[in-house]
Structure 1
């Protein structure tokens, strides 16, 4: 008899024989009848063995949680007074006619109904997946990947794989490197993205490409970052930004409908990078609630609040948030905690008919007649520090007021990002990546004032999370070489690192562009999860370790003998070379 999944039992006629395979959830022994709940990846159902089957009854009595069993029997409706409306398949049960113990489970390493720490759950990930929402998250992720593949295939994209082992090309995130045994002193880099390869595919006339690309970045980890992750990589020739917007919006509409049954409205709103920063203090604005940053500089120019008045007189700004409802002390405390340690100047004012609550000089603000009833969050200083600070406070206030958990999905495109930015060491670096097309008509515009140049780049943001980013690419070798030079690379460095790519651009490269979507982040939002670890089968901890396998680990003896002399030789060569 073929296996039946528990999730399909609703469609099975009563008194029809089925075979179920799965894990025992729990057993209830009533002497002459034993009930046990069986689970597979699609659901749970109650089974029972009665007195006429003495041998089966004894076997059922011996079952333990998480034993693996096979059971055959008839699907029966439960008696009306035994229907469990709080249980999946609570109106049916299976009357077992055969029962086979396929494998016994020892006592589980932790209490699955308790609250184990993250390391314990990851060490015994197979238990965690079996007994947590992660199992269903993996189902949603699978549906999502199938939906995206079908959508892109329907739109004439080809799925093409690119190498994981490649050449290190500085300019992006830190790479993991792999020593090459056959060529001592040489290394592969694990690809941080397929950027150059997908552009070369466009030059190769593939025209429309996509890939579920595994990417590797040696970065500090957090809730939404892993050292290895998956992105949906998309590239096409002869396209514009409008083509990308239309393609991705259609994908999102289909994705949300197929995975979680939510209707998404398109087209999505758009705003420039400058507008996002000015209104929301973030280049990934959360539009689930209406609260924008306002300019209060002129209000404080002649104010009695000297701390802010002085900032304005010295050329600084005062920006602030306004919420129509007065807030109590608990909300003010939340804001204090969010603002503490930032180094920014700030003050909170909550005005109601009953009076005024503020962490600043109350008498001063009582005389400011332009203050309406409600709550203000003010900050003064340089605009580039004040705006992101208020952006963080906006989210903290939205979280406290319950405005971020309304089961809404708000997309927005953020466009016209600066092409270049100043790095921590004072050098110039690409704000997106160095292959992005600058929005200029003359190469000299890049050379003369690079920080004023905008990129033909776009990010797609969902509920305050950047779920994708892309750009129109440079397809002219001379323009690409000019961008590299602006970034401080010498001609010899350009040739050494990117010579092969510039050769490709010189051989008939078409206009092209694309986008990369963070598939793990999208899955996290679709599942309502708090962390990427909840939607990845075998994730790493915040320290980059895998408790399940013990990775990373030291080399085995034979590996050490082979590789360590190579590393020592490389170090000696570096020392001798200065």
Structure 2
């Protein structure tokens, strides 16, 4: 090794020792002929003093150059001690200096404050420099500790870590796939695995019983802060387990991760919330429960209202819902306009509201309300001076979605005004359960699985598959933290007849397509498939929350941009005609 210690290791216990360190020059300071260099490696910083024949050479060092030094550990003068770092009471009196590499001036400051101020594209172009910043080094360390904690936990629970193929067959339901042309089989393609779902169920048929994997998954989707085209799942599957067993198992894993990484004790068991309750109360199936402002249903109140918009919605079997954004009556016209645009994007014609200022209800719709209706609103929403109440009148699911999004936007406005605090270190976990097994696509005129087609229906609802598929509950569950879905899973179908029925009778997938895509799986189920269930956590998303960042790009070493590009390596790129010929494919330039 070129060093005897790392740069956060030496203390007063090492005084008098001759040591060797190596790392990057963090800073160079000339104090009257004595050169001080802060030497940095992955673990921290040590101050090095050059007051011998080496000082002239040390004065030429530039920040971010890589050097090695040998010298004697000395105590710093009392006035120069920095007790904020582990090595702050000592320094190295250098007797040898080796310059491994001189750095050019970096394109942006490699401090947290400096790096955060530059454009993210620039940071991603020079990602190898961005990763030197303290925050990014810490993020990678957190990810490592979280991954290790997960592996250690499942090992103690008797799981096998099994790798599954990245190259799979195309099963084009769900997210768009990445296709990989086969050179050997002309005209045929693999697909990069969206998840190990089918493989892990096959492992249950194979008698593995307890499987997990930190699985690489690929989806050709539009990107955003919490989504990447390639990502990592904490993937698991267990035989002979029910939903309660899955909840307990996953809560134990999360409890260990939070303790190992943050030294925080999570209370368990987590609260549980049925899908319908989550939608009715929060307008979304991944509610942020760190604040109130819950939705209330006023359909009965307004079914005979003089306000015809509300009354006609109820008559058409829709819902009238509202919530009170307490203290937000000072909202600006521009902010209301922005909320209206969001509501319209979700199918609303507008966004009705009532402001309460100086004891007066202000809104064009108030004149249509009876005293009884106003009294009911006041009572149930605790309306006071300074509040603003938002309404949605639409089919139930749309009304929930409109106010669910408005609720989140209103919370951010209250945070901006200092009237609400949403702490990143407040860990409000919950399970959302009892999802509908199927949803109906009005445009296509067909049903679609709300989770995936391998999810088992609740046993007592199976007879409804023939008469009312929308009423069937699935054994599907999501783990939600502070308004973010960490992951989801389900108890799976293990009977081939029921799985075939779901494919062909409910989802209306033609029998030949079922055989082409899932035939091997259905056949495997005929050889003694055990009851089983599983889960998949987004490791990237979990690590982002642990690090207190909103973007998973901050916890992935080499992420893609929102335009699906690697700016550092400059990919994707064209390939040669020879490569295309070997793969038996041609490219078509899209029309502008």
TM-score greater than 0.5 by the shorter chain: yes
Which of 375, 378, 390 matches 2:403?
A: 390
Shift of 1:186: 1.2
SS of 1:130's equivalent in the other structure is coil
Shift of 1:308: 3.2
Asked whether 1:27 is paired with 2:28, we answer yes
Question: What does 1:284-303 align with in structure 2 at a 5 Å threshold?
Answer: 284-301=286-303, 303=305
- Alignment correspondent of 2:129: 127
Which of 207, 210, 227 matches 1:208?
A: 210
Which of 417, 429, 442 matches 2:448?
A: 429
- The question of whether the paired residues in 1 share the 8 Å contact of 2:271 and 2:429 is answered with yes
Question: What does 1:130-279 align with in structure 2 at a 5 Å threshold?
Answer: 130-131=132-133, 133-279=135-281
- Alignment correspondent of 2:68: 70
- The question of whether the paired residues in 2 share the 8 Å contact of 1:326 and 1:351 is answered with no
Cα distance in 2 for partners of 1:9, 1:393 equals 54
Shift of 1:315: 4.1
Shift of 1:538: 0.4
Moved more, 228-237 or 128-137: 128-137
Cα distance in 1 for partners of 2:56, 2:564 equals 47
- Alignment correspondent of 2:393: 380
- Alignment correspondent of 1:408: 426
Moved more, 169-178 or 188-197: 169-178
Cα distance in 2 for partners of 1:11, 1:182 equals 65
Moved more, 531-540 or 389-398: 389-398
SS of 1:257's equivalent in the other structure is helix
Cα distance in 2 for partners of 1:463, 1:125 equals 29
When normalised by structure 1's length, the TM-score is: 0.92
- Give the number of equivalent residue pairs: 563
CA change 1:89–1:337 in 2 (3 A) is: farther
Cα distance in 1 for partners of 2:370, 2:134 equals 54
Shift of 1:441: 4.5
Cα distance in 2 for partners of 1:452, 1:301 equals 25
- Alignment correspondent of 1:558: 578
Cα distance in 2 for partners of 1:294, 1:223 equals 31
Moved more, 548-557 or 173-182: 548-557
CA change 1:369–1:419 in 2 (3 A) is: closer
Asked whether 1:502 is paired with 2:522, we answer yes
Cα distance in 2 for partners of 1:298, 1:442 equals 29
Which of 458, 463, 476 matches 1:439?
A: 458
- Alignment correspondent of 1:530: 550
Shift of 1:312: 3.8
- The question of whether the paired residues in 1 share the 8 Å contact of 2:461 and 2:473 is answered with no
Cα distance in 2 for partners of 1:526, 1:442 equals 39
- The question of whether the paired residues in 2 share the 8 Å contact of 1:346 and 1:380 is answered with no
- Alignment correspondent of 1:574: none
CA RMSD of aligned residues (A): 2.4
Moved more, 468-477 or 342-351: 342-351
Moved more, 266-275 or 396-405: 396-405
Cα distance in 1 for partners of 2:324, 2:44 equals 47
SS of 1:494's equivalent in the other structure is helix
Shift of 1:173: 1.7
SS of 1:513's equivalent in the other structure is strand
Moved more, 242-251 or 21-30: 21-30
Cα distance in 1 for partners of 2:364, 2:127 equals 51
Asked whether 1:540 is paired with 2:560, we answer yes
Moved more, 170-179 or 280-289: 170-179
Cα distance in 1 for partners of 2:514, 2:315 equals 47
SS of 2:343's equivalent in the other structure is coil
CA change 1:91–1:444 in 2 (3 A) is: same
- The question of whether the paired residues in 1 share the 8 Å contact of 2:438 and 2:450 is answered with yes
Cα distance in 2 for partners of 1:256, 1:335 equals 39
- Alignment correspondent of 1:96: 94
- Alignment correspondent of 2:418: none
- Alignment correspondent of 1:340: 341
